[in-house]
A and B are shown apart, each in its own frame.
Chain A
Amino acid sequence: MTNKEILESVSNIIREVLELPNLTVTDQTSAKDVDEWDSMTHIQLISAIEGKYKVRFALGELQALKNVGDMVLLIQKKITK
């Protein structure tokens, strides 16, 4: 998958989990910018992403996943392994 495709599907997941159908998601979007993206919804997000891509994030990687751009890169790294 290309990064663009990953970004596209991750954005959909984000919109679904946060219940924000109109949210614009880009590479720069991060948890700080979105009020609904807190620790609670974050774990649900991670869980959904792990389910979708059949990957597993290490605990130590979770903080980096608060930024969409970093998230996409990490997903890419994991699925190409």
Chain B
Amino acid sequence: MPFNSYYFIFIFLPITLCGYYVLNYKNRVVLAKTWMVGASLYFYSFYNINNLPLLLFSILFNFGLTSHFHSPKKIISKSLLLKIGLVFNLGLLGFFKYGDFAIWNFNWLFHQKVEPLAMVLPLGISFFTLQQIAFLIDSYEGLNERKSFLDYSFFVTFFPQLISGPIVQYSYLMPQLENLENKKVNLDNITLGIFLFCIGLIKKVLLSDTFGVWAKPGFDELVSLDLLAAWKTSLSYTFQLYFDFSGYSDMAIGAAYLFNLKLPQNFNSPLRSKSLIEFWSRWHITLSQFITTYVFTPIVRSMPKINFQTTMVATVLAMFISGIWHGAGWTFIVYGVLHGLGLVVNHVWKKRRKKLPGILAWFITFNFINVTMVFFRAKDLEHALKVLKGMLGFDGVVIPKMGIKSVGFLKDYGVKIGTYLYPSDYFMILFLILSFYLIHQGKNSMLLEKEIKLNEKIGIFCGIAFVFCIFGMNKITEFIYFNF
């Protein structure tokens, strides 16, 4: 069920909230948790009921396995349990997500014609797999005590974060549930929840979807792009992705607040970053933390020596894995490796302790991000290179007719004069400027969560924006991260 839908906002959410608080009020704690798990499973199956068995199977298997860490009779050794758990989770993920990619590559490499399995990727599998792997490893390392099945299910299925994160650790979320204060309706949290949800909705419906319309033709439909069209395409996508995913995270966090539960922040104005290292501490923060903790660190520790060189190798490997986690395709591999190498360059430069002027640092970082996002979005390498080619001007430059009569000698370099700018072009330029301003100067939702005083004025602003979103939601689009 998408967050930006009438059904979710006006039916699912109110009913789930009422049930939860009524049951808690009547001290039926177990029932309240069960209600939430049930609601979350309903939320999950709404898209396609066929997804449900896999999720249930994954929860049951992982719960059974991790419980065994605490059982008095140690039939299976802890390290074997860990290995089985990892193979199971990664195997499940690998099969559904990368099965066809593997087959395709096998066919290409060995000139075979194996039939692809053409399976539909189960919703959110990348996220609930990671979340449970973290739990598995924490349990193996003795950081968790035995949990009840209900609590474990709640942790995995909690609907605000089930489909696309923020990825949360058990110890972060569940203790909040035990706090008696959190079982009562808290108007401050409800207020903050509504506010953050609205912010997310605005980002998604009014900003991201608009940029999405501008990004699509260049990536999917046109055969070649002139300079301006290519930049319009890539910038639109970068903004689309940012507003989409940070908006989604805002909605997730906002929805969780309605239940008096705090989820970790996922974005901290990443497009302001002055270095790639900084970027990864601000973009999809919970994923970065997961990769650093459970992928990067083990790789480093497995190296013969821990020094600069080995950490750099580990960085590239970790980013490669991060890239391919996002999707089964060569574009994602290129994306990951580019970021890995970029980080290495960044670290090498950082050692010199010479700082670049702020604007230059931002410029380089932003453009690197913008360029790598082309790989993230493009259907395949061919389309990615098409956009990049255009961005460098290799497929021509078309200048809008703005009082210039001729381009003179530049004609030989593929420069042409095109048509006048349409009103929609002016609108897009304005929109881009507004977005640059917002990402640079605006108070991001992390800051707003801490500082904002929610009074009538904000209430009115949110009300008006919410109505615009209600109108805008009518074309329901998919969240980009849904394919994960």
Are A47 and B306 neighbours in the complex by a CB distance under 8 Å? yes
Stretch at the interface among B4-12, B135-143, B400-408: B135-143
Stretch at the interface among B55-63, B114-122, B292-300, B456-464: B292-300
The prevalent SS among residues of A at the interface is: helix
Residue from A36, A43, A63 within 8 A of B300 (CB atoms)? A43
Task: Produce 1/0 per residue, B253-297, CB < 8 A to A.
Answer: 000000000000000000000000100010000000100111011
**A58 at interface by CB-CB < 8 Å:** yes
Residue from B293, B311, B347 within 8 A of A62 (CB atoms)? B293
Task: Produce 1/0 per residue, A51-66, CB < 8 A to B.
Answer: 0000000111111000
Q: How many A-B residue pairs have CB under 8 A?
A: 50
Q: In the assembly, what is the distance between CA of A74 and CA of B457, in Å?
A: 45
**What residue of chain B has the Cβ atom nearest to residue A58's Cβ?**
B141
A47 proximity list for chain B (CB < 8 A):
300-301, 306
Given A38-B277, A40-B347, A43-B306, the answer on whether A59 and B294 have CB atoms closer than 8 Å is yes
Are A61 and B289 neighbours in the complex by a CB distance under 8 Å? no
Are B306 and A59 neighbours in the complex by a CB distance under 8 Å? no
Q: In the complex, which of the residues A39, A40, A46 has the most CB atoms of chain B within 10 Å of its own CB atom? A: A39
**What residue of chain A has the Cβ atom nearest to residue B307's Cβ?**
A44
Are A44 and B311 neighbours in the complex by a CB distance under 8 Å? yes
Q: In the assembly, what is the distance between CA of A43 and CA of B277, in Å?
A: 15
Residues of chain A having any CB pair with chain B under 8 Å: 36, 38-40, 43-44, 46-47, 58-63
Question: What are 19 pairs between A and B in contact, CB < 8 Å?
Answer: A38-B277, A38-B350, A39-B277, A39-B296, A40-B308, A40-B312, A40-B315, A43-B296, A43-B300, A44-B311, A58-B142, A59-B137, A59-B293, A59-B298, A60-B169, A60-B293, A61-B143, A62-B297, A63-B293
Residues of chain B having any CB pair with chain A under 8 Å: 134, 137-138, 141-143, 169, 171, 277, 281, 289, 292-294, 296-298, 300-301, 306-308, 311-312, 315, 347, 350
